[in-house]
């Protein structure tokens, strides 16, 4: 086996908004040789195939489309002097900060002084959701659907059902429309949400598509082609929606293979690497940013984290320091996760001074309590309801009350 052995100062794995943001800021702030590796032929990550607007600005329907945003991110990184290499896959670890890569130019073994993982997140497929039935063609995730329609102009089908009711589900509906597919319904197992009796109407107004709430998918039918999606409604009724296409949207999982193969500690809630506000994982010299940490936030958030990792990386290159033990931050059900989820002993604050959280079930006016070893550190009432699959935030101004040598910091909704 002949691998070309190389060294760089900072190696960024993944050229989505997060990795490109990191590469841009690191190169601009003099981190030395900054190299970004991207396994796809074209850099930009998920936004490459999101042809709707609303990127970067945080405003839905804003002017910048996904591909446009991806190009901006690439231009910023390359313009700042980062070396961006596409078509190169990181296939595994050969040491603490040494990775193996494969590309058309051959095999390499790259050692870095700091590694930034930015491998993103994906939607869980039908199989992972254990949806029974047959395995016919016509079953998609949003990621595959968007690429099929926008990048390859492939024929999709005539009648589709969309599983999920998050932002990405509505993006899937839009993409299906572009492809000339009738959308029969959006289906979610969540109860109808209020203020919010309005929500189904709003959905219908936006898409002219019915939203079926409180419905679980019981199976797929069809052999040569999908013929229907079976549903069980809240009242026990079962129905089959005839269709030739189904899109399983949302239900994200971080693409954590490299993180796990590198023995990074995962947060049980996010299933991404556990990390502190300086984006430091459990492994010395290994940072992580973007949706690998929290599936999923907006591209703007991912890019901002990428830029924000530059300062702690530079500190690491300068001082070589790394925290040993840090108390974990952990949530109680029905909260699902909090990010960051390690206490930062160096006093760094999360992005915009706030933690991001998720809940499994709707909380009308959640009252969040933060405690450690029986001590209450902070209480906060949120003004808006917390909804499943939507971010809500917790202030971070209580962090100086955390005992850095104490136990797990628990966040509870009461």
Ligand X SMILES: Cc1cc2nc3c(=O)[nH]c(=O)nc-3n(C[C@H](O)[C@H](O)[C@H](O)COP(=O)(O)OP(=O)(O)OC[C@H]3O[C@@H](n4cnc5c(N)ncnc54)[C@H](O)[C@@H]3O)c2cc1C
Residue ranges in contact with another protein by CB under 8 A: 1-3, 39-40, 87, 89, 91, 102-107, 122-128, 130, 132-135, 137, 140-141, 143-144, 147-148, 151-152, 154, 218-221, 223, 253, 257, 260-261
Distance CA 83, CA 2 (A): 23
CB of 380 to ligand X, least distance (A): 26
Binding at 321: pick from ligand X, another protein, none (beta carbon under 5-8 Å per type): none
- Integer distance in angstroms from the first to the last C-alpha of the chain? 58
Work out whether strand 83-86 and strand 354-359 pair parallel, antiparallel, or are unpaired: unpaired
* DSSP 8-state secondary structure symbol assigned to residue 358: E
Would you count residue 40 as binding ligand X (CB under 6 A)?
Answer: yes
Three-state helix/strand/coil letters over 185-223: EEECCCCCCCCCCHHHHHHHHHHCCCEECCCEEEEEECC
Q: Under 8 Å CB-to-CB from 197, ≥6 apart: which residues?
A: none
Smallest gap from residue 209 Cβ to ligand X (A) = 17
Instruction: Compute CA distances 272 → 147, 260, 267, 300, whole Å.
Output: 25, 9, 6, 19
Q: What is the DSSP letter of 399?
A: G
Q: Which one, of 45, 121, 43, lies nearest residue 82 by Cα?
A: 43
**Minimum gap (Å) between residue 4 Cβ and ligand X:** 17
188 scored as a contact of ligand X (CB under 6 A): no
Give strand pairing partners of 90.
101
DSSP state of 22: H
Q: Is 355 helix (H, G, I), strand (E, B) or coil?
A: strand
Binding partner of 346, given ligand X, another protein, none, CB within 5-8 angstroms per partner class: none
Residue 248 interacting with ligand X (CB under 6 A)? no
> Which is nearer to another protein, 68 or 219 (by Cβ)?
219
| Binding partner of 130, given ligand X, another protein, none, CB within 5-8 angstroms per partner class | another protein
Q: Which entry of ligand X, another protein, none binds 296, CB below 5 to 8 A by partner kind?
A: ligand X
Q: Is 328 in the site for ligand X (CB under 6 A)?
A: no
Cis ω for the linkage preceding 296 (within 30 of 0): yes
Count other C-beta atoms under 10 Å from residue 34's C-beta. Answer: 30
Q: Does 171 bind ligand X (CB under 6 A)?
A: yes
Residues 345-374 that bind ligand X (CB under 6 A): none
Q: Which residue in the set 19, 327, 340, 388 belongs to the binding site for ligand X (CB under 6 A)?
A: 19
Q: Is 306 helix (H, G, I), strand (E, B) or coil?
A: helix
The binder of 54, among another protein, ligand X, none, by C-beta within 5 to 8 A per type, is ligand X
Q: Is there binding between residue 16 and ligand X (CB under 6 A)?
A: yes
**Dist CA 25 CA 115 (whole Å):** 15
Should residue 13 be labelled a site residue for ligand X when binding is judged by CB under 6 A?
yes
Whole-angstrom distance, CA of residue 26 vs CA of residue 309: 8
| Residue 111-150 contact track with ligand X, rule CB under 6 A, x = bound | -------xxx---------------------xx--x----
Task: Rank residues 218 and 412 by Cβ distance to another protein and give the closer one.
Answer: 218
Residues that bind ligand X (CB under 6 A): 13-19, 37-40, 45-47, 50, 52, 54-55, 89-90, 118-120, 142-143, 146, 168, 171, 255, 258, 290-291, 296-300, 302
């Amino acid at each position: 086996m002949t691998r070309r052995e190389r060294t760089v100062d900072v190696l960024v794995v993944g050229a989505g908004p997060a990795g490109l943001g990191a590469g841009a800021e690191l190169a601009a702030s003099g981190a030395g040789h900054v190299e970004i590796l991207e396994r796809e032929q074209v850099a930009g990550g998920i936004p490459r195939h999101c042809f709707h607007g609303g990127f970067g600005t945080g405003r839905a329907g804003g002017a910048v489309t996904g591909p446009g945003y991806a190009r901006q991110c690439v231009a910023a990184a390359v313009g700042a002097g980062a070396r961006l290499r596409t078509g190169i896959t990181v296939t595994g670890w050969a040491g603490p900060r040494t990775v193996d890569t494969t590309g058309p130019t051959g095999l390499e073994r790259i050692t870095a002084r700091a590694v930034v993982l930015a491998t993103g997140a994906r939607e869980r497929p039908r199989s992972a959701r254990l949806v029974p039935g047959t395995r016919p063609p016509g079953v998609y995730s949003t990621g595959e659907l968007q690429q099929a329609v926008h990048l390859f102009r492939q024929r999709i089908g005539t009648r589709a059902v969309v599983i999920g009711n998050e932002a990405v589900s509505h993006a899937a509906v839009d993409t299906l429309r572009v492809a000339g597919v009738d959308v029969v319904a959006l289906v979610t197992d969540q109860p109808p949400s209020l203020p919010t009796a309005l929500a189904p109407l709003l959905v219908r107004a936006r898409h002219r598509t019915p939203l079926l709430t409180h419905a679980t998918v019981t199976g797929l039918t069809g052999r040569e082609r999908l013929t229907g999606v079976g549903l069980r409604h809240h009242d026990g009724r079962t129905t089959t929606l005839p269709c030739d296409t189904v899109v399983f949207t949302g239900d994200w999982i971080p693409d954590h293979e490299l993180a796990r193969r590198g023995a990074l500690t995962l947060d049980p809630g996010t299933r991404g690497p556990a990390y502190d506000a300086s984006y430091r994982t459990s492994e010395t010299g290994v940072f992580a940013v973007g949706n690998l940490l929290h599936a999923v936030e907006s591209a703007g958030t991912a890019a901002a984290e990428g830029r924000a990792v530059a300062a702690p990386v530079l500190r690491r290159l300068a001082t070589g320091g790394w925290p040993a033990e840090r108390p974990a931050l952990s949530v109680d059900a029905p909260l699902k996760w909090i990010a960051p989820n390690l206490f930062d002993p160096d006093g760094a604050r999360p992005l915009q001074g706030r933690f991001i959280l998720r809940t499994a079930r709707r909380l009308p006016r959640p009252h969040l309590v933060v405690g450690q070893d029986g001590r209450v550190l902070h209480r906060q009432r949120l003004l808006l309801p917390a909804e499943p699959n939507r971010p809500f935030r917790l202030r971070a101004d209580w962090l100086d009350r955390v005992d850095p040598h104490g136990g797990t910091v628990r966040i509870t909704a009461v």
